[in-house]
Structures are given as structure tokens and as C-alpha cells.
Structure 1
Amino acid sequence: MTQRKPAGVGFETWVERQIREAQEKGEFDGLPGAGKPLSGLAGPHDELWWVKEKVRREEGTVLPPTLQLRKEAAEAREAAGRAASEEEVRRILGEINAKITEAIRKPMSGPPLNLMTFDVEHVVREWRISRS
């Protein structure tokens, strides 16, 4: 849609014509969500609805790096608690601890990290107790 609006043609008429022509060519066929109602129509008006929807779809990947690492650390801790073996607990914690150590060594952008590496032996002991 790189065409310019012709002089003397009303803007609304020009836009409506382009939409109609695109529909006739099938350019709107197969789009995600086709035939489904728009989400959020029943809720209160929110000018930032599309931003919130994108953040929800992207699962928070727009977080500053320090907050994203905090989220990953919390998820790693939960995953370690659900691990099937002690080796898996150690692997999960080893991976996140490496990321945390790197972030402490080379500060990341965003709010303060306020995160320390996990005490692997302590978490392993907790994991063993929860299994018995």
C-alpha cells in the first residue's frame, strides 16, 4: 500500500476502496484470528490494550534484562523443585547460577538485579526432604 491518495478523492472513500480491493484479492484470508471475535471488547476501554496483549503473547519478553533474569531464576527454582533427579536439580541450578554470576560480573541494564546465586547443596537437601 504505497499509493498516495489521489487529489479530489475523499480520504474515507479512498481507504474503503483499498480495503475492498484487498478483500477481493483475498489478502485478508487466513490471517490469525480470522472469524473470531476481538478479545477484550467486553472489558472497559483501555488505550493500551494492544501493548498489554503483546506483552501477554510474548510472555513478558519486553522486561528489562535484570527483571527477565529474576523471572528466569524464580522459574529455575520451581523447576528444580519438580526435578526428577538430583542430577537434574544440579543441572538446572548450575545453568541459572552461571547466568546470575555473569550478570553480577557484567551489570545488566534495568533496575538493580538484587539476586544471588543459589546455594545448590541447600536446594538439593530441600529437594531430598520433599521426596521422602
Structure 2
Amino acid sequence: MNILVVDDVESIRDVVVAILKHAGFRVSVAQDGEMAWDALCADQFDLMITDHDMPRLTGVDLLRRVRASSLDLPVILMSGSIPYEETDLAELLRPGMAMGKPFSFAELLGNVRNVLSDRAHAEPSSEELVLQGGLSEL
């Protein structure tokens, strides 16, 4: 699993990366939303974990850009001040979730695993696709 971590605070970014790498994930980093968008256009990721309050492009604005594109990517939005005034935030986060800062190592890993697990259950397996294709031809 390849995860993109986006945060403008280096110390937070480094801790999140260390936790994820220790758990066996491949991790790439971006320092802000614009750099994250460039990374998303250049590589394929299974999950993006992004801070909200960043220069150049906020986490919510990055999330809007992702949802407006053809990218089908679960996102965990983390922030000390989640923008609850965003009326479309819940819809934007599907698939994904919001997570407040500070958080524990266990909370981070639990949320990552839950989002990835939900994602795996939502996608039909190749066997299901073959069966669906075969049934439609009957």
C-alpha cells in the first residue's frame, strides 16, 4: 500500500511517516497541497493523509481538487481545527474520514486500516467482476 502524507509541519510529517513505515506501508510526502497535487498526478496512491491548514492549498481545497478529478482516492483529513463550517465536508471525505490532532499512534494506524479496509470491501473482486460480466451475457 502506497500512502501520500501531506503536512507543512515537518515534525508532524516525520512522525506520521515513521509510524506508517514501521507498520509496513510505502510512504511519500508533500509539504503542501500544491506539492501533493503534483505527486498525485505523477504516481498512484492507495490513500492520502493530509493536514487541512497549509499554505498555497488547504487540505479541503486539495480534497475538492481530488474529488473533481478522475482520481478515486480515500482521504484522511487531519487537523487541529477541522473546518466544520464546510457543509460539503462529509460528502467530500467519502471515501475517507476526518481525524483531529493530536492523535495517538494507535489511533492513526487504526484509522488508516479502517479506511483501507472499507475501501477493499467496497470494491468488487476480480472474481465478482467476472461473474457479473458472465451473468450480464446470459
Q: TM-score by structure 2 length?
A: 0.22
Larger Rg: 1
Give the structure with the higher percent helix.
1
Give the structure with the higher percent strand.
2
